[in-house]
Amino acid sequence: MKKFFMGALCGLLNGLFGSGGGVAAVPLLESSNLEPKKSHATSVALIFLLSIATTLSYLLGDKLDFGLSWQYIPYGIIGAVIGAVLLKKIPNSLLRRIFGGVMLFAAFRIMMK
């Protein structure tokens, strides 16, 4: 039941802000005793599945620009390989600190909007 609400919270943030669900998902997953690396990898899987739903809703609303997206996707895929290899190798503690920094940056951006 707790997992249901945790999932709902991630989904709620994703639905509300378009992005941001992942930032919430990682600490939620870590709080259920998942180690940081697994929390990050599992959050990617969760956001991936949730993003399919969001993408469909954008598609129905005709809000997708495929041409612009394709300018970034090939490099993104190369980046994905680099990131996934790094995640396996990076120490958990360093991972949490980097992520903490990313969260503060995200917070700063949201507050400045």
Partner 1 sequence: MNVIIGLLSGIAASMGFGGGFVLIIYLTVFTDTNQIAAQGVNLLFFLPVALVSLIIHQKNRLINWKTLLRLLPGGILGILLGAFIAAHIDVGFLQKLFGGLLIFVGCRELFHKNTDSGGEKKERKTDTARQ
- Binders of partner 1 among residues 2 to 41 (CB under 8 A) are 2-20, 22-35, 37-41
| Binding-residue total with partner 1 (CB under 8 A) | 99
Per CB under 8 A, contacts with partner 1 among 69-98 are: 69, 71-88, 90, 92-93, 95-98
Contacts of 41 (CB under 8 A, 6+ apart): 87
Give the nearest distance from C-beta 91 to partner 1 in angstroms: 9
Give the nearest distance from C-beta 1 to partner 1 in angstroms: 9
CB atoms within 10 A of CB 25: 26
**What is the three-state SS of 29-71?**
HHHCCCCHHHHHHHHHHHHHHHHHHHHHHHHHCCCCCHHHHHC
Give the nearest distance from C-beta 93 to partner 1 in angstroms: 5
CA proximity to 54, closest of 87, 18, 26 = 18
Per CB under 8 A, contacts with partner 1 among 43-62 are: 43-55, 57-58
Give the nearest distance from C-beta 48 to partner 1 in angstroms: 4
